[in-house]
Amino acid sequence: MEFHELAVPGFVFLIGLLVGSFLNVCIYRLPRNESLVWPRSHCPKCKQPVEVLDNIPLLSFVLLRGRCRHCRGRISSRYPLVELLNALGYLLIFEMFGVGLSSAIDALFFSALLVVTFIDFEHQIIPDVITLPGMLAGLIASSTILPPGFLNSAIGLLGGGGLFYVVAALGHLILRRDAMGGGDIKLIAMIGAFLGWRAMLLTILLGSLAGTCFGVFLILFRGAKRETLLLPFGSFLALGAVVSLLYGSDILIWYMRLGRIR
């Protein structure tokens, strides 16, 4: 493979790492309602600012052996994991869909889902600062650049949000408890805006399946109680959305062919 064939994937991977470093800031600060720009990055234990050379994605974690230079406190493995996942996600998107504005938007959508995944998994919240602008951004992008188109996107936004709202209302009415969080409602609306209504429905199916499997695993092997088990459904919706983004068309075509065979 020649140099120019490696240059573009290498550049995309590098951009993914750099953006992933910023995503770590979002994941840490958004649930705490802290500014994303001030103060500069610092150790959460000793509060010492992180030097520029100690803030290189992946490499600094390895060189520092996962510890703060000042207090030697452990640095969470989430930091290199998010950077690596974002870079690999960018690389996969551009390899599958090519270099272009549409792929760049898909990459930003992927990054937003990555932030949602880690925040919801740790804090069981989905920040409105991601989903509310995301709905509008998805609707505009789908109406102008992305494949779904305005009508498909609008149905996905309203249909997904409306469906989850009804589920939440019925759960509160019948079960007398919250069956669906407001963050999940806004998240599926954002996903529908970016991917359209078909991929939105596929996202719900895949997210529910992944969440069910994870819940069963916790009950069988971690001793979790079914009555008190709380799952970060937004994280599984985000996973379903990523699969739908990358492979949704193939899955839907496979399903339609399966229906013809029957």
Are 117 and 94 in the same domain?
A: no
Judgement on whether residues 112 and 78 belong to the same structural domain of the protein:
no
The number of distinct structural domains making up the chain is 2
Q: Angle formed by the axes of helices 128-144 and 150-170, to 10°?
A: 150
Give me the pLDDT at residue 128, please: 96
Do 146 and 231 belong to one domain? yes
First to last CA, the chain: 45
Are residues 29 and 137 both part of a single domain?
A: no
Asked if residue 207 and residue 87 are part of one domain, the reply reads no
With b meaning 16 or more CB within 10 Å and e meaning fewer, what string describes 143-152?
Answer: beebebeeeb
Boundary (domain end) residue, out of 38, 71, 99: 99
Same domain, 6 and 86: yes
**Can you give the residue range of the structural domain that contains 231?**
100-262
| End residue of a domain, out of 40, 70, 99 | 99
Q: Can you give the pLDDT at residue 261?
A: 54
Structure tokens at 109: 């959508």
Regarding whether 228 and 121 lie in a shared domain, the answer is yes
DSSP 13: H
Give residue 259's pLDDT: 63
Q: Same domain, yes or no, for 106 and 45? A: no
Which pTM does this prediction carry?
0.93
Nearest to 149 by CA among 95, 192, 202, 97: 192
Last residue of a domain, one of 99, 133, 163: 99
pLDDT value, residue 221: 87
Q: Are residues 30 and 131 in the same domain?
A: no
Give the span between the Cα atoms of 238 and 127, in whole angstroms: 14
Instruction: Mark whether 80 and 191 lie in a shared domain.
Output: no
120 and 173 in a single domain? The answer is yes
Query: For the chain, which ranges sit under pLDDT 70?
Result: 1-5, 175-179, 227, 259-262
Return the CA Rg of the chain: 20
pLDDT for the residue 256: 79
Is 150 found in the same domain as 44? no
Q: Where are the alpha helices (DSSP H) in the chain?
A: 3-29, 59-63, 78-97, 101-123, 128-144, 150-170, 182-195, 197-221, 233-261
Distance between CA atoms of residues 232 and 120, nearest Å:
6
Number of neighbours of residue 168 by Cβ within 10 angstroms = 17
pLDDT at residue number 260: 63
